[in-house]
Amino acid sequence: MGRGFNQAPALKSPVVTFPKMKLLTAAEEAAKHYICELSKSIMTDPVSIDGPHYYQRNEIVAYINDQGISPATYEATSIYDIQEEPALKAELECYLRDNPGRLNQNGRKQNQMIPGMYQMGGMPNVPQNQFMPQQNQGQFQQTALQQQQQQFQSPQSPFNPALQSQFNQQGQMGRGFNPDLQLKPYVVTIPKMKLLTAAEEAAKHYICELSKSIMTDPVSMDGHYYQRNEIVAHINDQGISPVTYEARSIYDIQEEPALKAELQRYLRDNPGRLNANKW
> Beta strands 254-255 and 46-48: pairing type?
unpaired
In the 8-state DSSP scheme, what is residue 254?
E
Domains 24-109 and 198-272 share a fold: yes
Q: What is the pLDDT of residue 46?
A: 93
Tell me the three state secondary structure of residue 267: helix
Tell the CATH topology of 24-109. Answer: Herpes Virus-1 (3.30.40)
Q: What distance in Å separates the CA atoms of residue 53 and residue 63, rounded to the nearest whole number?
A: 14
> Would you give per-residue pLDDT tens digits along the chain (279 residues)?
455 555 555 556 555 566 788 888 888 888 888 999 998 899 999 999 887 789 999 999 999 988 888 888 888 888 888 989 999 999 898 888 888 888 776 544 433 444 444 433 333 444 444 444 444 545 555 555 566 556 555 555 555 555 555 544 444 444 455 555 455 555 666 788 899 999 999 999 999 999 999 999 999 999 999 999 999 999 999 999 999 999 999 999 999 999 999 999 899 989 888 877 654
| pTM confidence score | 0.36
Superfamily of domain 198-272: Zinc/RING finger domain, C3HC4 (zinc finger) (3.30.40.10)
Domain limits, the chain: 24-109, 198-272
